[in-house]
Chain A
């Protein structure tokens, strides 16, 4: 917000060497002051590459991206995605992949303990999921986000 006072814009993180390369190609910048917890969560659950991709989707795909002039990443999808990540437990050593969808949502994809695919798509009004091991698929509301995360946890 605009004000007479400026926020401290120093880096929230000191990048370690293995992250510095990523920083140079994505032009990563420090988290906004209110977003340190979210950035930390993304790093922990998705690893540096996933963190960088989400950053990229947020700030580099603005209004009118793609030939079809799509809207920017849905804030509600991003919020739901973040809350889901807070609650989900991935199999040990698994770093999920994250994609920007055509509907300006986010898709999270990983392999469960049996090596089978699990996919969750966060849209602006709901969440869709697919679990290859059981063939289960469906759509849930944001109110059911916590239950879904528990169901899909390792």
Chain B
């Protein structure tokens, strides 16, 4: 364990596991905008259209702006998606995010490269006034109940609680990075083969405003959050379970 963080960091981290459980990875910047909502998508699109030519409006965009802005559960949701070959870019009135395609995780080096490109384009779009938060979220899915393969679990009267419907949520902090960890063994997720039931491990992490300035330390913050989430993920797995995922090391 390090710095009182409850989940031990493994000595070495795999570069790949197979099958890869990552459903989706999201890299998000929230900010106060220099421009009105109506202008923002156009200014962003002008910068990214070569790689992200297709646009798609998301259902939440149908709600009136005033209702969206005054409801914190809606205020930071994206309204538009721009579709590229390997990633999606999402935009809302005060956020943008780069998202991997579902079940097609391209690996960190490809993501890092795309983030670097995306942040340059975001700067050129000149829409960010002040950074509110830099966030990284990874959602992993296992098609069976793997709760007992994690080192974290629920207990009742000192005995492990095993149930077909079990969910745990906690917020952890490592340095300036806050992480909301959510595990459930009764998730249903849409796949190409149809809906599947299984276990979801969802880690949402973020640096808040005083620790994040997107054009000064944005890329570095994404790197840090990715590394911490990766370490958290492998730290959570029991070694015998990790062995079944065919880990490859450098």
**Interface residues, chain A, with chain B CB atoms under 8 Å away:** 1-5, 7-9, 27, 29-37, 58-60, 62-64, 71-72, 74-76, 78-80, 83, 124, 142
Q: Which residues of A contact B32 (CB under 8 A)?
A: 63, 71-72, 74-75
Q: How distant is the Cα of A3 from the Cα of B76 in the complex, in angstroms?
A: 12
Q: Which residues of A contact B37 (CB under 8 A)?
A: 63
**Does B209 touch A at the CB level, under 8 Å?**
yes
Q: Which residues of A contact B28 (CB under 8 A)?
A: 1
Add 4 more A-B contacts to A1-B204, A2-B78, A34-B178 (CB < 8 A). A3-B139, A29-B71, A34-B204, A75-B208
- CB–CB B102/A75 < 8 A: no
**Does B171 touch A at the CB level, under 8 Å?**
yes
**Does B129 touch A at the CB level, under 8 Å?**
yes
A78, chain B: closest CB distance, angstroms: 7
Q: Nearest residue in A to B81 (C-beta to C-beta)?
A: A2
- CB–CB A75/B209 < 8 A: yes
Q: Which residues of A contact B200 (CB under 8 A)?
A: 5
Number of interface residues of B (CB under 8 A): 48
Q: How distant is the Cα of A59 from the Cα of B69 in the complex, in angstroms?
A: 6
- CB–CB B130/A34 < 8 A: no
B202, chain A: closest CB distance, angstroms: 6
- CB–CB A59/B36 < 8 A: no
- CB–CB A34/B190 < 8 A: no
- CB–CB B97/A1 < 8 A: yes
Q: Nearest residue in B to A27 (C-beta to C-beta)?
A: B70
- CB–CB B72/A29 < 8 A: yes
Interchain CB contact (< 8 A) of A75 among B24, B97, B130? B130
Q: Which residues of A contact B180 (CB under 8 A)?
A: 33-34
Q: Which residues of A contact B189 (CB under 8 A)?
A: 4-5
Q: Which residues of A contact B58 (CB under 8 A)?
A: 2
B70, chain A: closest CB distance, angstroms: 5
- In the complex where A29-B73, A34-B180, A59-B70 touch, is A124 in contact with B33 (Cβ < 8 A)? no
A63, chain B: closest CB distance, angstroms: 6
A152, chain B: closest CB distance, angstroms: 19
Interchain CB contact (< 8 A) of B210 among A2, A35, A83? A83
**Does B137 touch A at the CB level, under 8 Å?**
yes
- In the complex where A2-B77, A2-B90 touch, is A59 in contact with B71 (Cβ < 8 A)? yes
- CB–CB B33/A63 < 8 A: yes
Interchain CB contact (< 8 A) of B209 among A7, A30, A32, A76? A76
- CB–CB A75/B132 < 8 A: yes
**Does B99 touch A at the CB level, under 8 Å?**
yes
Q: Which residues of B contact A58 (CB under 8 A)?
A: 72
**Does B122 touch A at the CB level, under 8 Å?**
no
Q: Nearest residue in A to B75 (C-beta to C-beta)?
A: A59
A1, chain B: closest CB distance, angstroms: 5
Residues B9-40 near A (CB distance < 8 A): 23-24, 26, 28, 30-33, 36-37
